Structure 1
Amino acid sequence: MSSQFAYRPEIDGLRAIAVLSVILFHTHEPLLPGGFVGVDIFFVISGFLITSIIDREIVTGRFSVARFYERRIRRIFPSLFLVLLVCLPFAWWLMTPDQMQNFSQSVLATSVFLSNVYFYLKTGYFEQSAHVLPLLHTWSLAVEEQYYVLFPLLMLVLARGPRALLLLALIALFSASLVLSILWGESSPMFNFFMLATRGWELLAGALLALTGHHVRPFLETRVRLRQGLELAGILGLAHGVLLLDKSVPFPGLAALPVVFGTVLLIASMTDRSLVGRLLASKPAVGIGLISYSAYLWHQPVLAFARIGWSPLPPAALIALFVLTMGLAYLSWRFVEKPFRNRAWLTTRMVLSGGTAMIVLFCVIGAAGHLQRGFAQRYDAQTLALAATAEISPFRSECHTEGLEYRRPSEACVYVVSPASWAVFGDSHGVEIALALSEPLSRQQDGVIHLTFSGCAPALDFSYSNPGCHEWVNETLAFLESSDSILNVMLVYRSAFHLYGEHGVHGDDYEALRTGSAPLFLQDAGAAAARAAYWKNLDKIVGRLTEAGKSVYLLSPVPELPLPIERLIFDTSRPIEERRNASTPRQFLDARLGDINAQLATFDGNKVHVLRLDDILCDTASCIATQDGTAYYFDDNHLSMAGARAVIRDLIASADLTLESKP
């Protein structure tokens, strides 16, 4: 038993792989597209080490639930609450009221270890907007702490019976959690990603190894070839996850099996004499492993606040931020983590009272930020008035759809008169357009049916990484074809994103904007083939609609902004009048959309009308961001309600859009 619980430096080296994977993924995703699996490595290591300690103490009669939780507080609280404290002035300085309110909510959720629930309800882990959430990474701490509220009590109860009963119970829980993760991988991808029910099996994998390790390791020590083979399989499992996975794969579920079992195999088979074991037990690897918790805590706030204040970040800045993260991690480990584990310096009573006080303090701070609406009083009335014009559709959450459990076309929202003779069909860029179009139509007793799916390309013939998109496109197109009342269909897509990826990562690098990154769909076919499939599918949709007797209005993509609108509105270093009438360079738009608009021009015909939004929102030199104190966007690519109304108004005034009365 003593050899199983001896310090194993190679496990600290494994922690180094985990934390560096996550940090590199968040720093620049293309560097390590599967780096997010570092969290899964952490889960297995945690399950193994903590179960080993609990089991040893139960066997020797020394286990105490109170002492266990005290150890968790000493381990987790000091650095976590230090990071929260340091975040506060940067949030006050850099964040808009909405961002500050959301940040305050996340502070409250983090303080009570429910941030996984909060971020599940609030955002997607892989969305572009998640890059500026300073506490997004705390979801994994919440999962662990929820697990360790229950697991020691379960161990204590089951340890009273036969050892086999404990193992069978944990195997049953492991299997149930894994099955749930597989089943919910596509239907509820964010629930699957964030929640304990679908993550618990990864911690339990480590726990099961801990409970059987005193049999496994002696067995492998006498079988060198087998141990070497398992060690190789383990490192290949990690490499598969880190190098070959990306955010398009439903995760965890089956995709997480190689990295989880790879970690289990490495812990079981590594020794201080094996090749992998020696590499991971080297001083650099162990050093990073020792500070891995602090590095994990610091990296996301450092990156998020830098992106809020100065995005896009050049490569040199990203390197500097990585160095800063590791420096802060060392200081936290040396002067916070280590001292707070010293029982001679800090008594149990001090730990419990201090931990409780920190929870209460940050709950109060988080609640205050929420109730004060992100402390909007930091800004002057004119700035707040301008920000208030960046409105979204009040029906966005109700009528826009996503996921496998999407709103059926037959149940779609209809504005304002039913049956409607118009439909808006596309992705999220159609949400505000649909409502804006309904307003002039309502004056002639007509309406619009709202058919938009979040982040969904015209994926008629191909499956998309976006769950439910392909099915919804086919169902919606069939619905439109069969409708006698719908005579006009407006197609609205963020084609630039679907074809070339997010634009914000490129800044003012116009060449990079022109070439972009590979589409998220048909990745195995190559970028050129995927883009060709996009246009082919859009052409099929247009063709089927016109064959069904519909008039098709094909909107060109909304001109994107180089930076989110709130960065412009709340940039108080610029005069308010400049912010009330702000524009962006036309060169940016042409680099991003030039090829797309040229391709769309080929669709123009008798029953297909291509409507160029850049003709409305741009002149030869610039494009509108705000005008006369009104924001035309609510982020960096979606039109606000005011922007959508302006577009519809100008299209009607120019006669490009004719709103014929219902027959």
Structure 2
Amino acid sequence: MRGGQALPSTATAAACRENSNALPDRGQAGSLSSTASAAADRHRTDIDGLRAVAVLAVLFFHLRISGFSGGFVGVDVFFLISGFLITRIVATDIEAGRFSLAQFYSRRARRLLPAFFTTLSLSCVAAFLLFTPQHLETFGKSLTAAVLGVSNIFFWRDSGYFDLAARMKPLLHTWSLSVEWQFYLVWPLLLSVLLALFPRRMVWPIMAIAIFSFCLIFEFQDGSVWLLSRTRAADWIADGRATVFYNTPFRAFEFACGAALVWLPRPRSAIVHEFLALLGLTLISSAIFILDSRSGTPAWNVLPPAVGAAMVLHADRSRWAGLVLRNRPAVYLGRISYPLYLVHWPLIVFCEYGLLRPLLPAEAIFIGLLSFALAILMFHFVEQPYRGGRGLVGPSGLALVGMVSFSVVSYAMSGGMPWRLQSVAAGTDLADSVALKAITGSLACQDFCEFGNLQSPNKILVVGDSHIDQYTRALQELGGQEFHFLLAEAGNCYFGAELQTRTNGAVTQHCRNATDQAARWLKAGGIVAIVQGQRWPGYRNILERKVDSAPVDMPDLAKLFATMLGDVAKLYSGFRGPVILIGHAPDANLICYLRPAYVSLPCPVPTRVEHVAFEKAFAGFARHPVIQQVESPIFQLVDPVQTLCPAAECHVTDSAGHSLYVDENHVSIFGARLIVPTIIERLRADLSMASRQPPSQSTTR
């Protein structure tokens, strides 16, 4: 789930804090040594309140509560708080000569690991009871990444189009914990060096780090990095928004901004404190209520919440504005923010997974309340007792036991545990994730390639996203002897004349490679027919105009399909020949057939609203006067629904028990072999008709 992708669509954060917010009063701007022996420790309850704001924003965002479209910015607030508190504690200890790296990591482990390992344990049980083999295997990999503190890298690299949906990843939220732990690994050592070099001017090197990190966001956010553009490393950053969202170097901006506050002199006027706190809360609230996962660029989206949180932290003497953060409910919520953050996302994922649909409003409220209840229990009966020294083992022992135990569990899940399945699916390809990978319908071309009979004069241009790639193996098998196929395919990339997948002004490299190659093949001539397929309803609300990157939001299916078909017609306006459009395969509800027998849940009936709307839109499109012109392409529709759903019920296996799908909406080679014959027959009929016409009439109907 990334702030731009869709990513992902989703963003998460976890706050880390010491045993309290107790901070000594600030001494000179460039030194903390005068405060090291001070006894006037103050518990900053406003920081607890700020955590409450951040965790509520994330919770309501994940529950899809209306108005909290920018709730993902809670991550920025949490990181900035962490940078401030950890820097203050470490710097004070370093200057006092009592800093111990071992003790620092021990305190961090004592603070974070008990609730974290409890959440992982409960998630393992739920995944075992609910997940299909394919999803359980992926969960096991994410479990290892989370325990090793690299889940941010795992989810960054595992965010491709064929990847499981973000809301099927119960440990996705641990990416922010990994960022925190990577920060802990480097920051104390870096502070030691900087304090030795700049004992009286620490604010300047810290701000230099923040500025450098912010510049990195600008450089990497569109995925086109000049220094790496000529190397294979560019493939790793093709999705720039995911790169800057998940990786620690780009989050250093927020940590460093919080750290700089430690040495930045506070204003003397109480009025200025009130103004800073009020303006800071306004900036954070504006980001929560105005931004969404597709708005702006990461570099600018990060500024309002980060600057706002810095203002609130810097205004520690505000009274009236601070009342929002210092009241008892807000302070208590801030204290339980860590366990609340940990438990809420797995609850959402497992509930939606069991229901096979998003939560209804009443269900979302129930899950929110359940998250609060579990967070309170975890805080008082897991987190607090262990921090009070009542754990069975010490922090180092707990870390070792956790790593070993969860590594064993992850290994056990590596095969998906297909023996848990219901008997109806246990003997099919669906039961084995390895078998599912083996029956993919894709030839696995990278962006574009040619296959079939390369000497054949019958050149067929095949274009689209992953929903055309799923037919390539069957096209090779059934038509490779007589047709020369030229494939231009890019996952999650819409092919059109004036519209493209929304990318906030930056077309990802694989989209550009595929679309440019398709244009070159068309311009070169010799193409006798075109086959295009894509996940047509999948581009709802994620299209933009090519000319100015303006978003094109069309929630209405009729308008969406009519616009897309008209745009495709413009793309091929100069082509004289048949254009076969392939509709999208019906959703399979594959999860329902693969869920273990331990939990018996009803399977929802797949809706055919999207298919009916597309067929209706195509019928109107084909009758359009422009399409009826003699020199326009001949558009035809091949609808997989007619093959896979011959009756009222759609099939997920064939008569031999082979899976027709590899996931919820991508067909397997067995499903493709049922659909592709219709495409081949259309091509043969169209080319046969064209060959019987006189040369002067070969482009007429």
TM-score scaled by length of structure 2: 0.80
Equivalent-residue separation in structure 2 for 1:49 and 1:586 (angstroms): 51
SS of aligned partner of 2:97: coil
1:609 maps to which residue?
A: 635
Deviation at 1:471, TM superposition (A): 4.8
Deviation at 1:165, TM superposition (A): 5.4
Please tell me whether residue 323 in structure 1 is matched to residue 323 in structure 2. no
Residues 79 and 255, structure 2, Cα contact 8 Å, conserved in 1: yes
| Counterpart selection for 1:468 from 489, 507, 512 | 507
Q: Which one-letter code corresponds to 1:608 in the other structure? A: I
Residues 542 and 552, structure 1, Cα contact 8 Å, conserved in 2: no
2:5 maps to which residue?
A: none
Please tell me whether residue 337 in structure 1 is matched to residue 383 in structure 2. yes
SS of aligned partner of 2:263: helix
Matches within 5 A, 1:157-196: 157-164=193-200, 166-187=202-223, 188-196=240-248
Q: Which one-letter code corresponds to 2:405 in the other structure? A: L
1:646 maps to which residue?
A: 674
| Counterpart selection for 2:531 from 469, 490, 506 | 490
Residues 458 and 537, structure 1, Cα contact 8 Å, conserved in 2: no
Please tell me whether residue 3 in structure 1 is matched to residue 39 in structure 2. no
| Counterpart selection for 2:396 from 343, 352, 366 | 352
Alignment root-mean-square deviation, CA: 3.4
2:428 maps to which residue?
A: 385
Deviation at 1:490, TM superposition (A): 0.9
Deviation at 1:583, TM superposition (A): 11
| Counterpart selection for 1:59 from 79, 95, 101 | 95
Residues 609, 530 of structure 1: CA spacing in aligned structure 2 closer, same or farther, 3 A cutoff? closer
2:412 maps to which residue?
A: 368
SS of aligned partner of 1:646: helix
Residues 529 and 683, structure 2, Cα contact 8 Å, conserved in 1: no
Matches within 5 A, 1:36-75: 36-75=72-111
Q: Which one-letter code corresponds to 2:416 in the other structure? A: G
Residues 624, 526 of structure 1: CA spacing in aligned structure 2 closer, same or farther, 3 A cutoff? same
Deviation at 1:456, TM superposition (A): 2.1
1:300 maps to which residue?
A: 345
Residues 355, 568 of structure 1: CA spacing in aligned structure 2 closer, same or farther, 3 A cutoff? same
Equivalent-residue separation in structure 1 for 2:210 and 2:269 (angstroms): 29
Matches within 5 A, 1:457-536: 457-462=494-499, 464-466=501-503, 467-468=506-507, 471=512, 475-499=516-540, 518-519=541-542, 521=544, 527=554, 535-536=562-563
1:568 maps to which residue?
A: 593
Residues 426 and 493, structure 1, Cα contact 8 Å, conserved in 2: yes
The superposition leaves residues 417-445 of structure 1 with CA deviations (integer Å, 9 ceiling, x where unpaired) of: 3367112212221111233222222122x
1:510 maps to which residue?
A: none
Residues 111 and 383, structure 2, Cα contact 8 Å, conserved in 1: yes
1:25 maps to which residue?
A: 61
Deviation at 1:315, TM superposition (A): 2.2
Residues 459 and 534, structure 1, Cα contact 8 Å, conserved in 2: no
Residues 155 and 175, structure 2, Cα contact 8 Å, conserved in 1: yes
Equivalent-residue separation in structure 1 for 2:71 and 2:161 (angstroms): 13
The superposition leaves residues 246-299 of structure 1 with CA deviations (integer Å, 9 ceiling, x where unpaired) of: 222466322211111111111112535132x10111111111111000011101
Please tell me whether residue 627 in structure 1 is matched to residue 674 in structure 2. no
| Counterpart selection for 2:294 from 235, 248, 253 | 248
SS of aligned partner of 2:470: helix
Q: Which one-letter code corresponds to 1:86 in the other structure? A: L
Please tell me whether residue 618 in structure 1 is matched to residue 645 in structure 2. yes
Equivalent-residue separation in structure 2 for 1:657 and 1:235 (angstroms): 67
Please tell me whether residue 452 in structure 1 is matched to residue 526 in structure 2. no
Equivalent-residue separation in structure 2 for 1:450 and 1:251 (angstroms): 32
Residues 553 and 610, structure 1, Cα contact 8 Å, conserved in 2: yes
Residue range with higher mean Cα deviation, 286-295 or 85-94: 85-94
Aligned length: 616
Q: Which one-letter code corresponds to 1:383 in the other structure? A: A
Equivalent-residue separation in structure 2 for 1:598 and 1:636 (angstroms): 27
SS of aligned partner of 1:413: strand
Q: Which one-letter code corresponds to 2:593 in the other structure? A: L
Residues 652, 162 of structure 1: CA spacing in aligned structure 2 closer, same or farther, 3 A cutoff? closer
1:513 maps to which residue?
A: none
Equivalent-residue separation in structure 2 for 1:128 and 1:658 (angstroms): 38
Please tell me whether residue 282 in structure 1 is matched to residue 327 in structure 2. yes
Residues 426 and 452, structure 1, Cα contact 8 Å, conserved in 2: yes
Equivalent-residue separation in structure 1 for 2:438 and 2:167 (angstroms): 21
Deviation at 1:192, TM superposition (A): 1.5
Please tell me whether residue 553 in structure 1 is matched to residue 605 in structure 2. no
2:176 maps to which residue?
A: 140
Residues 477, 227 of structure 1: CA spacing in aligned structure 2 closer, same or farther, 3 A cutoff? farther
Residues 586 and 618, structure 1, Cα contact 8 Å, conserved in 2: no
Equivalent-residue separation in structure 2 for 1:547 and 1:553 (angstroms): 16
Q: Which one-letter code corresponds to 2:262 in the other structure? A: A
Residues 327, 537 of structure 1: CA spacing in aligned structure 2 closer, same or farther, 3 A cutoff? closer
Deviation at 1:530, TM superposition (A): 11
Q: Which has the higher helix share?
A: 1
Equivalent-residue separation in structure 1 for 2:51 and 2:347 (angstroms): 20
Equivalent-residue separation in structure 2 for 1:243 and 1:193 (angstroms): 20
Please tell me whether residue 205 in structure 1 is matched to residue 257 in structure 2. yes
Deviation at 1:53, TM superposition (A): 1.0
2:354 maps to which residue?
A: 309
SS of aligned partner of 2:166: helix
Equivalent-residue separation in structure 2 for 1:588 and 1:571 (angstroms): 29
Residues 460 and 537, structure 1, Cα contact 8 Å, conserved in 2: no
Identity %: 27
SS of aligned partner of 1:627: coil
Deviation at 1:651, TM superposition (A): 4.1
Q: Which one-letter code corresponds to 1:204 in the other structure? A: A
Structure 1: tracts of 5 or more residues without a match = 401-406, 500-517
Residues 294 and 329, structure 1, Cα contact 8 Å, conserved in 2: yes
Equivalent-residue separation in structure 2 for 1:397 and 1:9 (angstroms): 59
Equivalent-residue separation in structure 2 for 1:589 and 1:528 (angstroms): 12
SS of aligned partner of 1:63: coil
Residues 12 and 290, structure 1, Cα contact 8 Å, conserved in 2: yes
Residues 620, 654 of structure 1: CA spacing in aligned structure 2 closer, same or farther, 3 A cutoff? farther
Q: Which one-letter code corresponds to 1:3 in the other structure? A: D
The superposition leaves residues 515-554 of structure 1 with CA deviations (integer Å, 9 ceiling, x where unpaired) of: xxx5554676653799868745643543453523343112
Residues 413 and 449, structure 1, Cα contact 8 Å, conserved in 2: yes
SS of aligned partner of 1:6: strand
Q: Which one-letter code corresponds to 1:489 in the other structure? A: I
Deviation at 1:635, TM superposition (A): 2.3
Equivalent-residue separation in structure 2 for 1:554 and 1:281 (angstroms): 60
Equivalent-residue separation in structure 1 for 2:205 and 2:170 (angstroms): 38
The superposition leaves residues 148-191 of structure 1 with CA deviations (integer Å, 9 ceiling, x where unpaired) of: 10100111222223335543332232222211112211212222
TM-score scaled by length of structure 1: 0.84
Equivalent-residue separation in structure 1 for 2:436 and 2:116 (angstroms): 35
SS of aligned partner of 1:293: helix
1:431 maps to which residue?
A: 469
Residues 441 and 668, structure 2, Cα contact 8 Å, conserved in 1: no
Please tell me whether residue 415 in structure 1 is matched to residue 451 in structure 2. yes
Residues 495 and 596, structure 1, Cα contact 8 Å, conserved in 2: no
